[in-house]
Structure 1
Amino acid sequence: MSAGGGTKAIVAALLANVGIAVTKFIAFLLTGSSSMLAESIHSVADSGNQGLLLLGGRRAKRQATPQHPFGYGRERYVYAFIVSIVLFSVGGLFALYEAYHKWHDPHPIDSWHWVPVTVLVAAIIMETFSFRTAIVESNHVRGKATWVQFVRRAKAPELPVVLLEDLGALVGLVLALIGVSMTLITGNGLWDAAGTAAIGVLLVAIAVILAIETKSLLLGEGAEADDVARIEQAIADGPEVERIIHMKTLYLGPEELLVAAKIGVPAYESADRLAEGINAVEARIRAALPVARVIYLEPDIYSVAKAQAAAARTAGTAAAGTDDGQPGH
C-alpha cells in the first residue's frame, strides 16, 4: 500500500465522520433518539480512530535508533490495534449500553420527526463517498485478491481499517434509519432500542475482526507464499548460490521486509569474491521484491553427507524421546 493512498482514504474518512458526528449530535439533542446517540458516538470514535491512524503513520517514519535498530515501522500496527480497542469500547459497548437503557425505558420520538431521517440520509451519502475513496485506493494495491483476502493479508493496516470502519458505518446508518423510521411509524421506542443494539453488535464484531488481524501483524508476519517464491528464485538465479539451506522472512513494518537466509555457496578463491557474490544476490532480491530492504545472508558450504547426518541425529533424538508412544523418562 502506498502511504499516499492510505493517507488520502484516512483524511476522506476523517472529514466525513467529523461532519456526520456534528449533525448526528444535533439530531439526538432535538429528538432524544438512542439510535442517533449511538451513531453520534460511533462517528466520534471513528474520527478519533482516523486521527490515531494518521498519528501512527507519522510516528512510524522516525529514523532508527540504537535502541530500536530496525526503526519504528510497527507503530502503524500498534495504532491500528488501538483503533480496534476504541471501536470495541467507545463504539460497540456504548451502543449496547444505550440499547439496554432504551429497552427498559422506551419512548417515541415526540418532536422534530423529520430531523433524524434527514440527518441519516445525508450521513449515508457522505459515508458512501468516504467508502468509495477507500475502495478506489484499495483497488490500486490489492491486485487479484478478493476483499476478504485483502483485509486478511494486507501488511499495511490503514486501508483495511478504513474499509471495515466505513462498511460498518454504512450498515450502522441503515440500521439506525430502520430503527428510527419504525419508531416514527409505530410510535414504539423499542424499535429505536433494537436498532441501537444492532449497531452495537455490528461494531463489536468489526472491532474483534480488526483486533485479530492487527494482533497477527504485531506478533510478526512473514512474506506471502508468492513473495517467498520470488525471493527464492532471485537467490537461485545466479551461480553465486548452490542452494538455500533455510530462509526466514519478517515484516518490520508495512513497507520493510527482513530476509534472513543461510545459503550454500561454492568454494570461493577469496573473501572478496564471496562478498561480491553475496552483494549480487542481495541486489537480485531487492530487484525482485523492493520491499525487502533488510537482508542478511549467511554463506555456508553445503554438504549432502553432513545434511543427512544432521537429519539422522534429529530422527534419533525424536525416537529416543518416546517408548511405545509414551514420553521418555
Structure 2
Amino acid sequence: MNTEPHNNRTLWIAFAANMGIAVSKFVAAALTGSSAMLTEGVHSVVDSSNQLLLLWGRKASRRPPDKLHPFGYGREIYFWSFVVAVLVFALGAGVSVYEGIIHIADPEPAVSPIIAYGVLLVAFLLEGGSTLEAFKDFNQAKGKLGWVQAIIQSKDPPGFIVLLENGAAMVGILAAAIGLGVSQITGDPRYDGMASIVIGCILGFTAALLAYESKALLIGEAADPELVTAIHEMVERRDGVTSVGEVLTVHSAPDQITAMLSVDFEDHISARDVERLVCDIELECERRFPIIRRLYIRPRSAADQCRTEEGAALI
C-alpha cells in the first residue's frame, strides 16, 4: 500500500460535483415549488462541506512542529476525517431517515417526473465522474492489495473517504430512482419516503465504517509490517549489533512515521563506537525510508532481554 498522501485534485472534483448537484436541486425546487427538493439542495450543500474539511485537514497537517506540538500537526488530517464521518452519519444518514419518515407520515405530491429524473440523472453523472477519479487514485495507491485490505491498511483517510462516500451516494441515487418509479407506478408517494430511509441506512453503514477507520488512525496505527521488517533487517545486519528487540512504529500523518528500536550492541565496543553506529543507522534509514521522520534507538542490555523473556513466559 502506497503511504504517500494523495493530492487534492480528487477532493476538489468531489466538491465541484456536490455543488453541481445542489444547483440542479435548487433549480428543480424553483421550477416545481417542492419543499422536499429544496431540502435536498441544502443537503447537497452541506455534503460539500465534507470535502472542505478534508482539504483543511490536509493543509493543517503540514504545519511544522513547534514547542506545543513537537511531533507536528500530522494527526489533524485524522481528526477532520473523523469529523467528516460523524457529519455523514448525522447530516447524511440522519436527515435522510428523518425525511423518509416525514414523507411516509405526511406524503407530499410527487415532483414532475421529468424534472425529478433529470435531477437524478445530473446527480448520477456528476457523482459518477467524481467516483471514477477517486477510484483511479485509490486503485493506483493500493497496489497489489485487495480493496478491503487496502482500505483497512490505508493511512490517508481522504483517499478512501471520497471513494466510499461517492460510492454510497451513487447507490443512493439508484435507490431514489427506484423509489420514485414505484411511487409513479402505484400512485403511492410513500415509496419515495421508503427509498429515503434506505438511502439513510446506506449512508449510516458507510459513516460507521469511515468513523471506525478514522478512529484507528487518530489513536495511532503502526507502519505496514513490511516496513517494520525492513527496518529490523537493516539494523540487525550491521556490524556491532547483536540483536534487535522491539521495533515500535506509529503514523503521525500519512507520510510521517516515528520509529523506536531496542538494540543490543556487542559488549566489547566503546560508547563512542555505539554513537557512531547509531548515527550510521539513522543516515541509512533517512536515505532508504524517507517516510520515517524520527528514529529513536535505545541500547538493549542483557537484563532487558531477560525481563522480556520472563514477561513472555508469564503470559
Task: Settle same-fold status: TM greater than 0.5.
Answer: yes
Partner of 2:194: 194
Matched, 1:276 2:276: yes
CA offset at residue 43 of structure 1?
2.5
Corresponding residue for residue 117 of structure 1: 117
Quick one: distance in 2 between partners of 1:261 and 1:119?
57
Determine the structure 1 residue equivalent to 2:172.
Answer: 172
C-alpha distance in 1 between matches for 2:141 and 2:230: 18
CA distance in 1 between counterparts of 2:146 and 2:8 reads: 22
1:186 Cα offset (Å) = 2.8
Aligned match of 1:323: none
Tell me whether 1:10 sits opposite 2:11 in the alignment: yes
- Give structure 1 regions of 4+ aligned residues with deviation exceeding 6 angstroms: none
Aligned to 1:144: 144
- Aligned identity (percent) is 31
1:1-329 correspondence runs (5 A): 1-3=3-5, 5-29=6-30, 30=32, 32=34, 34=36, 36=37, 39-109=40-110, 112-267=112-267, 269-302=269-302, 307-308=305-306, 311-312=309-310
CA contact (8 A) 1:156 1:254 kept: yes
Q: Is the 8 A contact 1:38 1:196 kept in 2?
A: no
Q: Residues 61 and 121 (structure 1 numbering): CA distance in 2 closer, same or farther, change over 3 Å?
A: same
Q: Closer, same or farther in 2 for the Cα pair 1:207/1:49, shift >3 Å?
A: same
Does the Cα contact within 8 Å between 1:117 and 1:181 map onto a contact in 2? no
Corresponding position of 1:324: none
CA distance in 2, matches of 1:228, 1:313: 22
Aligned mates of 2:229, 2:269 — CA distance in 1:
30
Q: How far did 1:289 drift?
A: 2.8
What one-letter code is carried by the residue in structure 2 that aligns with 1:88?
Answer: F
- For residues 308 and 227 of structure 2, the distance between their equivalents in structure 1, rounded to whole angstroms, comes to 29
Determine the C-alpha separation between the residues in 1 that align with 2:25 and 2:89. Answer: 20
Q: How far did residue 38 of structure 1 move?
A: 6.6
Change beyond 3 A, Cα 1:313–1:175? closer
Q: Structure 1 residue 138: deviation in Å?
A: 1.2
User: Quick one: distance in 2 between partners of 1:6 and 1:164?
Assistant: 17
Secondary structure of the structure 1 residue equivalent to 2:141 = coil
Deviations 1:172-220 (A, max 9, x none): 1111111122223332101111111111111111111111111111111
Q: 8 Å contact 1:96–1:200 — kept in the other structure?
A: yes
Which amino acid in structure 2 is aligned with residue 174 of structure 1?
Answer: L
Q: Which amino acid aligns with 1:299?
A: P
Q: Please state how far the C-alpha of 1:97 moved relative to its aligned partner.
A: 0.7
Task: Give the gaps of 5 or more residues in structure 1.
Answer: 320-329
In structure 2, the CA distance between the partners of 1:210 and 1:312, relative to structure 1 (3 Å rule), is: closer
Counterpart Cα distance in 2 of 1:282 and 1:144:
30
> In angstroms, what is the RMSD of aligned CA positions?
2.2
Q: How many residues are aligned here?
A: 312
TM value normalised by structure 1: 0.88
Whether the aligned pair in 2 keeps the contact of 1:31 and 1:116 (CA below 8 Å) is: no
1:280–1:240 distance in 2 versus 1, CA, 3 Å: farther
Question: Residues 307 and 58 (structure 1 numbering): CA distance in 2 closer, same or farther, change over 3 Å?
Answer: closer
Partner SS for 2:8: helix
Query: Residues 314 and 183 (structure 1 numbering): CA distance in 2 closer, same or farther, change over 3 Å?
Result: closer
Rg: which structure is higher? 1
1:116 maps to amino acid: A
The offset of 1:105, in angstroms, is 1.2
Alpha-carbon distance, 1:312 to partner:
4.3
Q: Tell me if the contact between 1:6 and 1:137 (Cα under 8 Å) persists in the aligned partners.
A: no
Shift of 1:241: 1.8
Counterpart contact for 2:4–2:254, Cα < 8 Å: no
TM-score (norm 2): 0.91
Matched AA of 1:257: I
**Long gaps (5+) in structure 2:** none
The residue type equivalent to 1:19 in the other structure is: G
How much has 1:44 moved relative to structure 2? Answer: 2.4
Please report how far the alpha carbon of residue 284 of structure 1 lies from its aligned counterpart in structure 2 after TM superposition.
3.0
SS of 1:140 mapped into structure 2? helix
- Within 1, Cα distance between the matches of 2:66 and 2:78? 19
